[in-house]
Amino acid sequence: STETAKLNDGSEIPYVALGCWKSSPEDAYNAVLTAIKAGYKHIDTAHIYQNEEGVGKAIRNCGVPREELFVTTKLWNTNHRDPLAALNDSLKRLGLDYVDLFLVHWPVPFKKPASDAEEQFFVKRKGDPTKFDNDYDWDFVKTWELVQKLPTSKCKSVGVSNMSVTNLKTLLNAPSTTKVPACNQVEMHPYLPQHALLKFCQEKGIQVEAYSPLGSTGSPLLKDETIVELSKELGISPATLVISWAVNRKVVVLPKSVTPSRIESNLSIVQLPDDVMEKISLIYKTHPQRILCRDWGVPVFNDEIEA
Residues classed as catalytic: 49
User: Which lies closer to ligand A2P via its Cβ, residue 16 or residue 147?
Assistant: 16
Smaller CB separation from ligand A2P, 171 or 239: 239
Choice between 86 and 214, CB closer to ligand A2P:
214
Query: Smallest gap, in angstroms, from Cβ of residue 11 to ligand A2P?
Result: 24
Which residues form the interface with ligand A2P (CB under 6 A)?
19, 212-217, 219, 222, 239, 255-259, 262, 265-266
Q: How far is the CB of 213 from ligand A2P (least distance, A)?
A: 5
Nearest CB to ligand A2P, comparing residues 94 and 253: 253
What sign results for the dihedral spanned by CA atoms 176, 180, 181, 184?
positive
Which is nearer to ligand A2P, 168 or 242 (by Cβ)?
242
Neighbours of 129 (CB within 10 A): 14
Minimum distance from CB of 129 to ligand A2P (Å)?
17
As measured in angstroms, the least distance from the Cβ of 291 to ligand A2P is 8
At its nearest, how many Å lie between ligand A2P and the CB of residue 122? 23
